[in-house]
Amino acid sequence: MAKKLNQQPALHKVIMVGSGGVGKSALTLQFMYDEFVEDYEPTKADSYRKKVVLDGEEVQIDILDTAGQEDYAAIRDNYFRSGEGFLCVFSITEDDSFQATQEFREQILRVKNDENIPFLLVGNKSDLDEKRKVTLAEANSRAQQWNVPYVETSAKTRENVDKVFYDLMRKITALKATEKNVNERNDDNAAGSCCVIL
Ligand SMILES: Nc1nc2c(ncn2[C@@H]2O[C@H](COP(=O)(O)OP(=O)(O)OP(=O)(O)O)[C@@H](O)[C@H]2O)c(=O)[nH]1
Ligand SMILES: [Mg+2]
């Protein structure tokens, strides 16, 4: 097959969602720059872009780090609309943040209108196991109910940080490939429709 020249690498748009203080920014900064930020500075909304190699192919990841304390649902809707995949983060040390994931999930499904939207449930701060308030069983059961993976991370020790971003990109790539196939099939059908006998 001829290699296409000057083609930009595929761009995958990831949105970080979850309550304030759960570690969305810490996970993003650890993934982007390999550093852990101890200080808590509530985010307004920041975006990051990085070239990475995903299963042998160069791609770009665009990360929108949203504010857990965003009061305006309309602003959130706008952010969610632009997303192709979601990391829905809570802290294993805070039950409220786990309960809040339910609302984030509902809002994402309402905006994207697709049950199969690439999505991971992420239990962050796994290094603080002695302060754990959310059990593995509880989190797994919610993830099973939603039919999504559950992964525990630590932005501090870097445990599973790459994994959640790469697993999500794989899901986005897979979804784009199916959509492309469907579109191509539709194009073929349209081209051949004059000859189809029903
Ligand atoms: N021990 C530990 N602390 C963490 C971890 N992730 C984040 N933190 C700390 O938790 C606090 C909040 O982290 P942020 O990343 O700023 O939280 P956020 O989800 O971005 O919060 P908002 O921007 O307000 O939505 C900071 O003090 C971080 O250092 C983690 O995995 N382990
Ligand atoms: Mg933040």
Q: Please check whether residue 165 is in contact with residue 2, taking contact to mean a CB–CB distance below 8 angstroms.
A: no
176 within domain boundaries: no
Q: What is the pLDDT of residues 42-78, one digit of tens each?
A: 999 999 999 999 999 999 999 999 999 877 888 889 9
pLDDT of residue 192 exceeding 80: no
51 within domain boundaries: yes
Q: How far is the CA of 169 from the centre of ligand 2 (A)?
A: 21
Instruction: Indicate whether residue 23 lines ligand 1 (CB < 6 A).
Output: yes
126 within domain boundaries: yes
Please list all protein residues whose beta carbon sits less than 5 angstroms from ligand 2, which is an ion. 24-25, 43
Residue 152 sits in a domain whose CATH number is 3.40.50.300
193 within domain boundaries: no
User: What DSSP string runs through 106-136?
Assistant: HHHHHHH--TT--EEEEEE-GGGGGG--S-H
106 within domain boundaries: yes
Using left for φ > 0, alpha for ψ between -120 and 50, and beta otherwise, residue 26 falls in alpha
Q: What is the pTM of this model?
A: 0.91
Pairing of strands 45-54, 57-66: antiparallel
Instruction: Indicate whether residue 68 lines ligand 1 (CB < 6 A).
Output: yes
Q: How far is the CA of 68 from the centre of ligand 2 (A)?
A: 7
- Residue 189 belongs to what H/E stretch? helix 161-191
86 within domain boundaries: yes
Q: What is the pLDDT of residues 79-106, one digit of tens each?
A: 999 999 999 999 999 999 999 999 999 9
Containing domain of residue 102, as a range? 10-163
Q: How many domains does the chain have?
A: 1
